[in-house]
Every structure is written in structure tokens, then in C-alpha cells.
Amino acid sequence: MPLPLGFNLVVAAHLVWGGVGMYRLIRMEGISYPAALFSGLAFACLPKLFAHYGAGHLTLLYAVPWTPWLLASQNSRNLFPGTHNSGFMSRISPGVLLAIIFLADVRWAAYAGVFWWGYAFTHSQNKSIIKTAKDLVFQTAFAGLLAAPLLLPLMEYTRLSTRSTLTAGDIMAFSLPVPRLFGLFFPGFWSYHEWVLYPGGAVLALGLAAILKGKASQRKRFWLVAFLISIFFSLGTHLPGFSMLASLPGLDLLRVPARALFLTGIALAALAAYGLDGLLGENTPAEQRRVSVGLTALVLLIITMILGIWISTREFPTNLIWGAGAVGVGAFWTRAGLSSRVSPQIWFLLLMVLAMLDWGVVDRYSFFSRPSAEVLSEREMVANFLASQLGKFRVFSPSYSLPQHLAVRYHLEQADGVDPLQLEAYSAFMEQASGVPRQGYSVTLPPFKAGTPAKDNATYRPDPALLGLLNVQYVVAEYDLPVEGLMLRRRYGETRVYENQRALPRAWIQPPGSILGEAPSPADRVDWSPNRIEVSAKGPGTLVLAELAYPGWRVWVDGEASEMMVIGGLLRGVALEPGAHQVVFAFRPLSLFLGLVLFVTGCFFLLQTSFLSRLFAVVTRRLHREEAKKTNS
């Protein structure tokens, strides 16, 4: 399927899937069909999801929509109506769904797992807390089995990555600023995606009605508590004592506290369903008064905030006007639902129209869209020039002048880029090679202190010799690099393309007793693939491969297993005797193989238990039929 159409369709399918899951979850809690439908749409149209779509966080959009299904799996008898193995499904399905979330996005699995545990404890049909805890431990362990092919290699990689050096300050990065709490009432058109909070005017009004109307059931209280806790957690560094919490083991998985705002959106969608369900039912005069007063107070609060902003800034931003209007109209129409003057069917239909209009506008202005041709044409001349050069080489840019999507399109290998998990050894090496100092954890390499790649690193100078060890033959920058060893080859606007005259080949022979990088002799032949590299070279000396050393790589010389050396603390190498040799580097990671064994074990257990469960159901039905026949006779 052509891109980006393929990505967009997959994202749309996940949003629909999440909406269906939210609908099923709310229906399972005993809420009426119209209210559950509204809740499902509130989830699928959540502005925060669309803001992260604009940020390119596709894996989050693949993981978050499974969250309602994970919660609903606590009552699998209703989740899979008509099945005869409901006991089996209630025991196994949470683990399967948690594993799916983990495989989609590891970061969200931590949030979803904590959320699910809280939901399970408050909604468990078991009177024994210990039994519920045992079930959760079993289900979480089963999820670990199914996710093991990713979990084990990730644990190994994380230990060697910059993620292992996270400080409490790094973990609390992008905490929600306290003033951004106003975003609950006012959408942030094109604002920072992590801080998007607005759920929709009708959702707020109905959520408030749920809180004010009637006695709070245990299930309604859960959603209210989830809303409050997720809001407070998202504030992160702005809360006293949060730094101590962030220093606890495992909390580094919850980096960026504002991600908890996804849970805020889910909780508000659920509360809105309870509010709508209550309005469609019977309302006592006391309940009508409470809801009316609360909605009036909400409107007055919005007016007060608008006036305060106007007094301080003398401006009425578009997002404030839209938010005030949406919340005001939502409150008005919610209050109208208390009256018998409007038929419930017409009232619900107009409510859906108002909500869809609000979500549609806010979602559309939560991200920028650009034609793919326009995106791919940026710096296309630079990519064309580099792709036309002979040989195998890498490119480095201290100013992110060669975007990753363009490098992939032109089959160019990069020594820089964006990745939340970077090998610590490589990051430390690149600090010396690029000349750009590290200042805490960064998802980019090199880091950009002020977030403006075209300018941030203009005062730093790369080391051509160190870059050359990585087979970096070209350096692309948005500014001049007056460095010996870098020769300007092309200039396209402000983009300069330098050739590194000290670049080394992808594989070379280092003479015995020489300094790394001095007097190298290129290997005769290099056949490269992601998990296997074959090299033809002549000894004596050390064959150095400009590839990162990592656990799981093995080396064979002329068919015989040999000891792989770590050269310069970073690169792969092997000692060669005099003469011609055929050397094979192959990736055989023990963590992956062990993970696959655990995955197969989990699948076997899943199939075996499913078969036994179905067999038990068949036998039970036959016994019941025989007993019924005896009774009738």
C-alpha cells in the first residue's frame, strides 16, 4: 500500500477499534446504548490522539486504543458474548491484550498496566484481594511470555543505552505546566502535543453532570479518581515530592508525565457516558437543581477566565473563543436535557451533532498536514548528490540537514538521528566526534539545546578523524565548518556538503602495533546485510569493521569460530593471521532466541488451555442435556 496512505489507514483503523472498545467497556458497566456510543466517539475523537498523530507518534496511536479493551477484558464473559470458554478468556485475555500493547509501544504499556491493575482491583468480582492480586500477577507474567521476543532484547539494550543514565529531572521532562490546566476548557490549536488536554465541550458538561447527579457508584468513583490522579501525575515536576517518586526503580518507563493525559481523556469519556446515561433516565428535582447550578457555575467560570485573559493581554485568541463557545453550548444543551420540553431522541441527536462539530474542528487543528511531495522535496538536491557518490559510506549532520525519512528514501546511512534509545558507548563517542557536548538525556544525536537544529550547534566543530572511524565520508550542515580535513563539495542554499578527507572504509586492516586509524589497508570485499557481514581481507593485522560492537555478534574466520574484539571501545574487530581470509560476522542474540522460546511456550499454553476449555464446555453441555432428558422422562 502506498505511503503515507497506508499509515493513515492503519491509524484510522486503530482509532475506530479504540472507540469500539470504549463502547464495549461502558456497555459492560451497565450504561445505556446511546451513552456508550457517545463515550466511544469521545475516545476515538480525543484531540490528544490527533495531536500525537501530528507529532508522528504512530506507535502510541497503535497502543493507546487497546487500553479500553484491556480494561474490558476483566469481564470477558460480556466482552466475548456467545463463547463457551468465558472462564478461560477472563483468565487469559488480559495478558494477551497487555502483550499487544507492549509490542505496539513499550512506553504506553507501563501506563496501561498500572491503569489496568487499578481497574481490576476496583471492579474485581473476587472478594479476596489476595486472589485478585494473584490473578493479576499471573496475567502480567503471561503477557511477559508473549512479549518476550521484544522484552528480553529490550532489557539487554536498555542496560547499555543512555536510558539507563536517566536522572529524576530527565524522567520528569515535559511535565504539564500548571497554567496549561486551562487547556481542559480551551483547545490548544497547533499547541505542544504532550500538553493537549481538551476533551470537548460536551464531554466536560456531561462529566460534570455525572459528578453532580445521584449517588456515586463504585464504578463512577473509579473514573473520577482516575481523572484526578492522572491530572496530578501529569504535573510531574510541579508537584512537591514527585522527584522522589521519579527516582524509584521502573519509574523511568513513565518518562514524560504528561502522557498520563491519555488516561485523563479516557476517564472523561467514561464520566461523560455516566452523565448522559443519567440525563436520559429519571431525574429528581434535587438532582436537576444540583446539575443546573453546577453547569451555571461552569459557564461563569469560563466567562471569568476569558475576562481575566482579556484584561491581562487585551486579546481574544481563537482557541479561547472556540473553547468558551463549545463549553458554553455544551453546558446549555446538557441543562436542556433535564427538561421534558425536548424529546430525548432529538436532544441526543443534536448533542451528537454539537459534539462531532467540536471534535472535528479541534482535531483538524491539532496538527499540520503537508503534501508528501512537498515533504520529500526538501533538501532533495542534497540527497540526490549524496546518493550519486560511489562506495559505501555514512553521512553526519550536526544540524539535522538530512531528515531521516529522506535518507531512507535515498538509501543513505546516517551517523546522527532521532532515537529515544541510544547506546551509551556510541553517544559518548559521538560527543567527541561531533564536538557537541551532552547535557543530560536527549532523544536526538547530537543534542539540540534550544530545539533549533539549524543554529544550536554552529559553534561546535566536529573531529574528521573520529567521524572517519565510523565511515562518515560526508558532513552536511546549515553553517560553515572551517575544519581541517573537511572539504566543501557542494552548497544548496544554506546547506553545505563537506567531504571528509579522513574517512576510512567500512572495513580495513589495522597493521600490528599501529594506532587505530593510522596506515589502514582497505578490505578486499565487504558484503553487508543487517544480520550478516562477509569480509574478504589479507592479514596480518586486526580486521576492523566500522560497525558497533553489541552482545550477540559472533565472528568466524575461514569457517572457524574466533574471538570478536571491541576496538576503541566501540567497533567490531578480529585478529587475522598472515594470508587471505574469509571473515563472517553474524548476529546471534541469545536474548532474542530465549524470548522466542518463551513466546512459543506462551502460545502453546494459550492453545492448550483453549482446547481444554472448549472440551470441558462440550462435555458440560452434553451432561446438562442428559440430565434434562432424565428429568423430563
At 85, the pLDDT band (50, 70, 90 cuts) reads: very low
- Pairing label, strands 486-492, 413-414: unpaired
Whether residues 24 and 139 fall in one domain: yes
User: Residue 170's pLDDT is what?
Assistant: 84
Domain contains 611: no
403 or 167, which is more confident: 403
pLDDT of residue 14 exceeding 80, the answer is yes
Domain contains 231: yes
At 547, the pLDDT band (50, 70, 90 cuts) reads: very high
Which of 343-352, 363-372, 608-617 is least confident? 608-617
**Residue ranges making up the domain that contains 561:** 526-588
* Residue that terminates a domain, selected from 368, 392, 418: 368
Which of 92-106, 124-138, 471-485, 586-600 is least confident? 124-138
Whether residues 135 and 5 fall in one domain: yes
* Residue that terminates a domain, selected from 368, 398, 430: 368
Whether residues 204 and 321 fall in one domain: yes
Whether residues 494 and 413 fall in one domain: yes
Q: Which residue has the cell 581541517?
A: 484
Q: For residue 587, count CB atoms less than 10 angstroms from its CB and return exposed for 0-12, middle for 13-18, buried for 19 or more.
A: middle
Whether residues 395 and 352 fall in one domain: no
pLDDT by residue (tens digit) across 355-388? 999 999 999 998 888 888 888 888 999 999 999 9
pLDDT by residue (tens digit) across 55-67? 989 999 999 999 9
Provide mean pLDDT across the span 268-283: 92
Backbone angles phi, psi at 578, to 5 degrees: -60, 145
Q: Which residue has the cell 500538553?
A: 195
Domain contains 30: yes
- Residue 503 in contact with residue 489, Cβ under 8 Å? no
User: Residue 92's pLDDT is what?
Assistant: 80
Whether residues 495 and 548 fall in one domain: no
**Cell reading at 136:** 493479576
How far is it, in rounded angstroms, from Cα 427 to Cα 465? 17
How far is it, in rounded angstroms, from Cα 1 to Cα 9? 10
User: Residue 388's pLDDT is what?
Assistant: 96
pLDDT of residue 338 exceeding 90, the answer is no
Whether residues 275 and 414 fall in one domain: no
Whether residues 289 and 218 fall in one domain: yes
How far is it, in rounded angstroms, from Cα 58 to Cα 105? 9
Domain contains 458: yes
527 beta partners: 534
Domain contains 509: no
The enclosing H or E element of 626 equals: helix 590-632
User: Residue 81's pLDDT is what?
Assistant: 46
Whether residues 31 and 116 fall in one domain: yes
585 beta partners: 533, 555
| Percentages of the chain per state (helix, strand, coil), in multiples of 5 | 60, 15, 30
% of the chain exceeding 70 in pLDDT: 93
Average pLDDT, the chain: 90
User: Residue 67's pLDDT is what?
Assistant: 97
pLDDT of residue 607 exceeding 60, the answer is yes
User: Residue 84's pLDDT is what?
Assistant: 45
User: Residue 83's pLDDT is what?
Assistant: 45
Whether residues 263 and 405 fall in one domain: no
Q: For residue 607, count CB atoms less than 10 angstroms from its CB and return exposed for 0-12, middle for 13-18, buried for 19 or more.
A: exposed
Alpha-helical regions (H) of 365-473: 372-377, 380-387, 404-409, 424-434, 453-456, 464-469
pLDDT of residue 218 exceeding 90, the answer is no
pLDDT of residue 397 exceeding 90, the answer is yes
Whether residues 326 and 451 fall in one domain: no
Alpha-helical regions (H) of 105-197: 106-123, 129-160, 168-171
Domain contains 436: yes
Q: For residue 130, count CB atoms less than 10 angstroms from its CB and return exposed for 0-12, middle for 13-18, buried for 19 or more.
A: exposed
Provide mean pLDDT across the span 451-455: 93
At 82, the pLDDT band (50, 70, 90 cuts) reads: very low
Whether residues 545 and 457 fall in one domain: no
Domain contains 506: no
579 beta partners: 539
* Residue that terminates a domain, selected from 588, 609, 624: 588
- Picking from 345, 340, 350, the residue whose alpha carbon sits closest to that of residue 282 is 340
User: Residue 80's pLDDT is what?
Assistant: 45
Q: How many CA atoms lie within 13 A of 162 on its CB side?
A: 24
User: Residue 613's pLDDT is what?
Assistant: 62
User: Residue 241's pLDDT is what?
Assistant: 81
User: Residue 89's pLDDT is what?
Assistant: 56
pLDDT of residue 334 exceeding 80, the answer is yes
Q: Which SS3 state, helix, strand or coil, does residue 522 take?
A: strand
Task: Count structural domains, the chain.
Answer: 4
Domain contains 566: yes
Q: For residue 555, count CB atoms less than 10 angstroms from its CB and return exposed for 0-12, middle for 13-18, buried for 19 or more.
A: buried
At 249, the pLDDT band (50, 70, 90 cuts) reads: confident
- Picking from 413, 435, 569, 417, the residue whose alpha carbon sits closest to that of residue 506 is 413
Provide mean pLDDT across the span 333-352: 89
Angle, CA of 9, 23 and 103, to the nearest 5°: 50
- Picking from 323, 312, 272, 386, the residue whose alpha carbon sits closest to that of residue 42 is 272
